[in-house]
A and B are shown apart, each in its own frame.
Chain A
Amino acid sequence: MNEYIPRYQGTVTKYVFVESPEMTPQDLAVRAYEISEGAMIKETCFGLQVTGTAYEVEKIIGALRELDPDHIFVKDRGFPPGDPRRCRANLGGARPGYFGHEFEISLIRHVSYGLHALPLRDEQSVPHPPSPGPETRLGIDKLKQLVEAQEP
């Protein structure tokens, strides 16, 4: 086993996703470069990855969020950009996490709508969010029907 010396020790990496009709990842990147004081900014097809000290990353993200608060979403990332263990240049395809992002990005317009509608909402009204229904189990009649329907 070899000794492991971590890269970018003490840094924080955050994803910034933009799903907006008025803003592109490039616009975000330009703004991030303007205000960055040494943080690493990587532009991607969905937004940015920002790597730096926690303070600096928070400062950049706070400024970016102001550009389009309802359409910019942020989450933490464990690995720094370009890490050979995770980077798709080494893996030969999208890394597993992107399938999760792809799924959530397909729903994020509803969350954006919710954020936009939030200030207009009556503070006292009780929300009724989509919640899991009762667990459905296979009934005995249905099972019997399936068994009998089996082809000989």
Chain B
Amino acid sequence: MAKVFIYPATSLILSDLVARFGHTPLSAAQSIREHIQTAGLESPPLQISPEDPKKGLKYAAVEVPSGVRGRMSLYGPMIEDAEAGIIIHDADLAFGCMGCARTNELIIFLLKKRDIPVLELNYPKTDSEGAEFVAAIRDFLKGLGRSK
């Protein structure tokens, strides 16, 4: 069972397919859960402590907005932990109230920089694309099982 980082990290489709085919999806929910289930001082809404942007410094320089560093403190350790990645490129939902464009660029860059298998896709817009999309993810994840 491999740990697969999914982008967008909040994707329902990727999260489900990775788990369905027997692997562990690394998604935003896990690191957020870890933060909000850790006792400490109140720091709403996500319990991001002053230590987290410091952890983010490992991935982004100090001049970079603290939002990017704060987000990287959630995603960065998961990217390091990942054994594979799946990226959906036309995910507009990853920008706006859900996320940050610069963090997204950095996540994709870091995933590609690591020497791990990465599958790059777009969302399916038709049934036939859906069939190819699911088959591609299944074959990619099956390949991970074989290489281990």
Contacts and interface: CB of A to CB of B under 8 A. Distances in A.
A73 B10 CA distance: 13
A73 B54 CA distance: 36
Contacts, number: 165
Given A4-B43, A114-B133, A114-B135, A107 B124 contact: yes
Interface residues of B, number: 57
Interface string B88-132: 011011101110000000000000000000001111111101111
Contacts of B40: 3-4
B104 to A, nearest CB: 13
B15 interface: yes
Interface stretch (A30-38, A121-129, A143-151): A121-129
Nearest to A130: B122
Interface of A: 1-6, 8-13, 15, 17, 73-79, 83, 85-86, 96-97, 99-101, 103-105, 107-115, 117-118, 121, 125, 127-132
24 contacts: A1-B43, A4-B43, A6-B38, A6-B39, A76-B15, A76-B29, A78-B36, A85-B44, A85-B45, A96-B97, A97-B10, A99-B98, A100-B8, A100-B12, A103-B93, A109-B127, A110-B127, A110-B129, A114-B132, A114-B134, A121-B135, A127-B133, A127-B139, A132-B121
